[in-house]
Amino acid sequence: MSNRRQNRMLRAAILGVPLLFVAIAFVQQKIDARTRTAAKQKEELLFRSPALVKKLSLGYDPLLADIYWTRVVQYYGERVGLPDAQFDLLWPLLDLTTTLDPRLVTAYRFGAIFLSETGVVGPGRTDLAIELVKRGIAANPDKWILSTDLGFLYYWRLKDYQNASAAYLAGSRVPNAPPWLKMMAARIAEKGGSIETSRIIWSELYQSTDDPVVRKNALENLRGLKAQEDEMHLDELARNYHKRFGRYPSNMTEMRDAGMLPGIPVDPDKFPYVIGPDGKSHLDPRSTVKIPKGPSDRLK
């Protein structure tokens, strides 16, 4: 082999060394990243016991809770929107976070949203979201905002109007809670078909506030509930009239004359109720009373 050829090979080898190191560094970086991710996942899987982590925190519970909360946000953000995304560690991480710092309200609020989302944006675990928020309410009884989160979960996720109304009502009893919580509780109770519960809530709101706007709104809703209950009672009487006479009454006077009414019933505006040919009662066109007619209309 000639000296010239040997020199060329030597120069090529010298020039190739830096490129080799760059390639090695690139590959090693990828390996390290995967190793760190795997190690982090193993660490998160290992420390699933909140009691154990709390003991190991050596009194730095709030600081460690902030670190874990940051990890919750990162963990969720890395997966949201990805096809076939798995959120298996979301609940354990939130469990750890809120055990370390039960006063970290943000973790309860946004953690519940993360848990209750469905499809590619969350695991669809409304049950765990409710458990998380209830834990937050127990640890933070002075935070009425958590009751609205619980009401939201029951209302929007589960269509459980009774528990949603109860959540808003419970929140309204927290000192310094805004009046609209009682309004929301009443409206949801109406949507769920509980007239009596709604009447109690609106009555309590009317009696406990000095705000003229709130009192007017409460009074209007109480008037509407009274008319709604009247109509339900009159409809039942009209059906009984049909059973006795083979037809529906044409007016309230016929039911009164049949001994089914002590007099002519009137709505809160003092207008007599009207009976239709189908036996259904309704308000006089001149009346200003507003009645929630159906589940889809009652929150409007």
The whole-angstrom separation of Cα 24 and Cα 189 is: 66
Coil, helix or strand for 189? helix
Q: What is the mean pLDDT of the chain?
A: 82
Q: 298: closest CA among 154, 145, 190, 142?
A: 190
Amino acid at 215: R
Task: Report residue 275: phi and psi, to 5°.
Answer: -105, 130
The HSE-up count of residue 171 (CA atoms within 13 Å, CB side) is: 30
pLDDT of residue 7: 53
What's the pLDDT band for 210 if we cut at 50, 70, 90? confident
How would you class 126 by CB atoms within 10 Å of its CB: exposed for 0-12, middle for 13-18, buried for 19 or more?
buried
| pLDDT, average across residues 230-257 | 96
What's the pLDDT band for 9 if we cut at 50, 70, 90? low
pTM for the full predicted model = 0.65
- pLDDT above 50 (res 99): yes
